[in-house]
């Protein structure tokens, strides 16, 4: 797999490219709060841009934009995009664009990432059909017991549906979340037609509109769909708008971070083991829509996707995740997968081989007795290799998000420097990435250590590999 990285500045809004093999990349959570309670994103981007030539990465993902975003081309504003980083009239557009240009000039390309966990989670659906849809003996059912008195019928907005999407410490409301819509646009219609050409039985659910009401056919309960429906009222397509924003921002690519576990569990078919074909088709249509938007509006734009560790694993699916989704897309619609993994638009299929657990009571290891982080990562990366899907390995800095550090800390699998070395020594490929540049390391491998190790392996020991990330005040 060949990655084409921009080493020169933007010219008339488009990149002048030279070719470099390999990927060493990191995400930045723009809304991460500093000591003053304000998002550090723009300040961090400016610091990274000032040190671009010596950063141990050659790609940076800016996260996260909302899948219900609205961006009108030429408006030059981040308002209504879901990225809340500035009170300026343009929402921080000009500052972010300036940093992106400086990063490009220093050999670091920037992607705009659409999604992320909160922009994928529907608390009602996730609680009832993912966490509570398979009985009480499941990994996260403890949240129902602790916050909802052990009953799914007690889950509501007042307890954020048992705090399954985020813990109480995050102080979330329904407005903190959204879902990926199925917009009524020409491009999404073309994308659906494409999917149906591969399987005429493919179904979609355009009646689920963010901000509107939806009746759960399984319970008869009418619930509000999280997210802002302004895109629908204005006749916009968020998947085209992220491409238009990427073009106007002078960024190199877009990133699709799709994690709608609730969708797979609610629309599952079969009698157990289940099928998640409905979600496979939804993801494929979203990806296809973005690809059509790239071809229409910004042909040099690259596209990457964040994929689940179990996404390339063949075999039976018993629910609770999206096992095999990227494998199915690759098998049923190989050109959708290939757009992201080979050719001029390839940004890579990037595997989130982290937030893994060693809790065998819930069958969370791929094979009994093989639960160590490096063993699991090698296993999952090999499933993608076996499936013929070029993929990049992923790492997480600091304390994992899963399992809960308070409820099940003994089964967490944090990344040490020894494990980092083991993993990079056992997996092949041409790239790696990590979450997240300014996430606290909590005594584990630091962002700089992770990036330097990836850089040394995948960028052939380039001079930037000895660099470090600037420390923010």
Tokens standing for residue 81:
């995009």
- Which of these, 125, 100, 81, lies nearest to 230 by C-alpha position? 81
- Global confidence as pTM: 0.95
Q: For residue 276, what pLDDT is reported?
A: 97
Q: For residue 148, what pLDDT is reported?
A: 98
Q: For residue 11, what pLDDT is reported?
A: 34
- Which of these, 130, 437, 82, 112, lies nearest to 262 by C-alpha position? 130
Q: Using CA of residue 223, residue 225, residue 230, residue 231, what is the dihedral sign? A: negative
Per-residue tens of pLDDT for the chain, all 473 residues: 333 333 333 333 433 333 347 999 999 999 999 988 899 999 999 999 999 999 999 999 999 999 999 999 999 999 999 999 999 999 999 999 999 999 999 999 999 999 999 999 999 999 999 999 999 999 999 999 999 999 999 999 999 999 999 999 999 999 999 999 999 999 999 999 999 999 999 999 999 999 999 999 999 999 999 999 999 999 999 999 999 999 999 999 999 999 999 999 999 999 999 999 999 999 999 999 999 999 999 999 999 999 999 999 999 999 999 999 999 999 999 999 999 999 999 999 999 999 999 999 999 999 999 999 999 999 999 999 999 999 999 999 999 999 999 999 999 999 999 999 999 999 999 999 999 999 999 999 999 999 999 999 999 989 999 999 999 98
User: Is residue 346 classed as helix, strand or coil in its secondary structure?
Assistant: strand
Tokens standing for residue 84:
């809340």
With beta carbons less than 8 A apart as the criterion, state whether 163 and 145 touch: no
Distant-in-sequence contacts of 191-199, Cβ < 8 A, 24+ apart: 191/284, 191/285, 191/286, 191/288, 191/289, 191/292, 192/285, 194/285, 194/288, 194/333, 195/281, 195/284, 195/285, 195/288, 195/333, 198/332, 198/333, 199/277, 199/281, 199/332
Q: For residue 4, what pLDDT is reported?
A: 32
Q: Which residue in the block uniquely carries the two structure tokens 């979600």?
A: 279
What are the chain's domains?
10-122+177-466 (3.20.20.80)
Q: For residue 446, what pLDDT is reported?
A: 98
d(CA 55, CA 106): 9
d(CA 425, CA 23): 16
Q: For residue 10, what pLDDT is reported?
A: 38
d(CA 13, CA 248): 7
Q: For residue 21, what pLDDT is reported?
A: 75
d(CA 444, CA 182): 40
Q: For residue 79, what pLDDT is reported?
A: 98
């Amino acid at each position: 797999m060949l990655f084409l990285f921009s080493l020169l500045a933007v010219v008339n809004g488009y990149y002048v490219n030279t070719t470099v093999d390999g990927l060493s990349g990191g995400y930045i959570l723009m809304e991460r709060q500093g000591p003053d309670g304000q998002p550090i994103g723009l300040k961090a981007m400016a610091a990274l841009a000032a040190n671009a030539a010596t950063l141990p990465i050659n790609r940076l993902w800016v996260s996260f934009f909302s899948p219900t975003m609205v961006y009108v081309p030429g408006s030059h504003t981040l308002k209504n995009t879901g990225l809340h980083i500035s009170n300026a009239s343009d929402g921080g557009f000009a500052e972010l664009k300036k940093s992106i240009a400086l990063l490009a000039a220093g050999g670091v390309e920037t992607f705009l990432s659409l999604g992320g966990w909160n922009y994928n989670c529907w608390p009602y659906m996730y609680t009832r059909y993912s966490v509570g849809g398979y009985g009480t003996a499941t990994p996260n059912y403890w949240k129902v017991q602790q916050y909802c008195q052990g009953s799914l019928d007690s889950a509501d907005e007042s307890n954020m549906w048992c705090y399954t999407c985020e813990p109480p410490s995050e102080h979330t409301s329904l407005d903190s979340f959204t879902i990926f819509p199925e917009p009524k646009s020409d491009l999404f219609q073309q994308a659906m037609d494409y999917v149906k050409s591969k399987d005429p039985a493919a179904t979609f659910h355009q009646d689920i509109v963010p901000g509107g009401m939806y009746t759960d056919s399984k319970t008869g309960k009418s619930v509000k769909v999280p997210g802002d429906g302004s895109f629908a009222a204005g006749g916009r397509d968020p998947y085209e708008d992220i491409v238009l924003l990427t073009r106007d921002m002078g960024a190199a690519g877009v990133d699709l971070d799709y994690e709608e576990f609730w969708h797979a569990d609610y629309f599952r078919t079969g009698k157990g083991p289940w099928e998640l074909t409905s979600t496979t088709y939804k993801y494929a249509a979203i990806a296809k829509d973005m690809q059509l938007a790239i071809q229409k509006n910004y042909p040099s734009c690259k596209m990457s996707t964040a994929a689940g560790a179990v996404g390339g694993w063949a075999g039976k699916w018993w629910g609770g995740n999206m096992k095999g989704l990227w494998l199915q897309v690759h098998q049923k619609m190989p050109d959708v997968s290939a757009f992201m993994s080979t050719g001029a638009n390839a940004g890579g299929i990037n595997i989130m081989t982290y937030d893994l657990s060693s809790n065998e009571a819930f069958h969370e290891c791929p094979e009994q007795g093989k639960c160590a982080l490096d063993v699991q990562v090698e296993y999952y990366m090999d499933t993608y290799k076996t499936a013929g899907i070029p993929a990049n390995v992923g790492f997480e800095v600091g304390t994992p998000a899963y399992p809960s550090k308070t409820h099940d800390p003994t089964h967490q699998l944090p990344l040490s420097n020894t494990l980092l070395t083991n993993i990079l020594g056992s997996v092949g490929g041409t790239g790696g990435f990590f979450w997240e540049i300014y996430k606290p390391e909590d005594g584990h491998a630091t962002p700089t250590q992770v990036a330097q190790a990836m850089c040394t392996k995948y960028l052939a020991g380039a001079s930037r590999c000895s660099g470090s990330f600037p420390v923010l005040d």
